[in-house]
Amino acid sequence: MTTQQWFDERHDYAGSSIGFRVTQRLHAEQTPFQSIEIYDTTDWGKLMTIDGCMMVTTRDNFFYHEMMSHPALFTHPRARRVVIIGGGDCGTLREVLKHDEVESAVQVEIDERVTRLAEQYFPELCESNSDPRAQLLFIDGIKWMAECEPESLDIVIVDSTDPIGPAEGLFNEAFYRSCLKALRHGGILVQQSESPLAHLPLLKNIRKAMKGAGFQAMRTLTFPQPCYPTGWWSATLARKGVDLSDFRERGAEMKQFATQYYNVEIHKAALAMPEFLKAALEG
């Protein structure tokens, strides 16, 4: 935090930075896995950072959590069993459990402190933690996926931090092979895939690893995310044995729950890829 009371995250690799005006640091601790800090901001509510990188704010988290969950859930015909790898702030879990067809949602987060701090400072994200369909596990997600029963899952959502530290092993072909094995036919893997502007080589490597693992169809959906590098983010969907170009438009249009960003038109628009990105990923 600078003397002007701003928290700035500089991205030297992209020649850019993003900052929020803060009033105080509410919490700071070093867990066995990472450094976590919580700030109060003047305009964006609470801010959580991990290892100096912005993870979530009260004001803008809905973009990310909704796009990491609803496109996949409205693409799958009936996702009964969903697993979230990471996702310690529990916002993605909350969105997943808005779908009545989900019978089980398991969140596998390696660092329990992320969730406990989210419960304290972002309670609105954790309002579904007590849902009887929810199960919170605080163990290694890579190991859990490797040992998962074959063809037992409908959707796997990798809601991770950047591919460094505890999350490094969530972005490679070996991990995606574990996901493929665990998914039923037509199952969907969702990977947060960073900024198309700042991390294009990584995005290309993610898709290459997914293809190498055996996924037949991939789509990268982009969306705004003000607190992340460049303010533009992506989620890459990969599917086992079925195309990803269609989704349940009627279901999305008639959804019985509230969202702030996602709707049927947003889903359609997200399936369209900008020319430079299409050339880089599919050319």
* DSSP-derived secondary structure for 11-72: EGGGTEEEEEEEEEEEEEEE-SS-EEEEEEESSS-EEEEETTEEEEETTTHHHHHHHHHHHH
Give me the count of residues in the chain.
Answer: 283
Catalytic residue among 60, 159, 162, 246: 159
Specify if 130 maps to a domain: yes
Which CATH number fits the domain that encloses residue 123? 3.40.50.150
Residue pair 6/23 in contact by the 8 Å Cβ criterion: no
Specify if 111 maps to a domain: yes
Specify if 25 maps to a domain: no
Residue 77 pLDDT:
96
pLDDT tens figures, 251-272: 999 999 999 999 999 999 999 9
Phi first, then psi: what are they for 143, rounded to 5°? -65, -40
Residue 4 pLDDT:
61
Specify if 6 maps to a domain: no
pLDDT tens figures, 64-74: 999 999 999 99
Cα dihedral 207/209/212/214 (nearest 10) = -70
Specify if 41 maps to a domain: no
Phi first, then psi: what are they for 183, rounded to 5°? -85, 145
Q: How many domains does the chain have?
A: 1
Specify if 246 maps to a domain: yes
In whole angstroms, give the CA distance from residue 6 to residue 18: 10
Find the domain containing 74 and state its range: 61-273+275-279
Specify if 21 maps to a domain: no
Specify if 4 maps to a domain: no
- For the chain (length 283 residues), average pLDDT per consecutive 10? 77 91 97 97 97 97 98 98 97 98 98 98 98 98 95 96 63 92 97 94 94 95 96 96 92 97 97 94 82
Residue 165 pLDDT:
60
The reply to whether 111 belongs to the active site is: no
In whole angstroms, give the CA distance from residue 193 to residue 118: 23
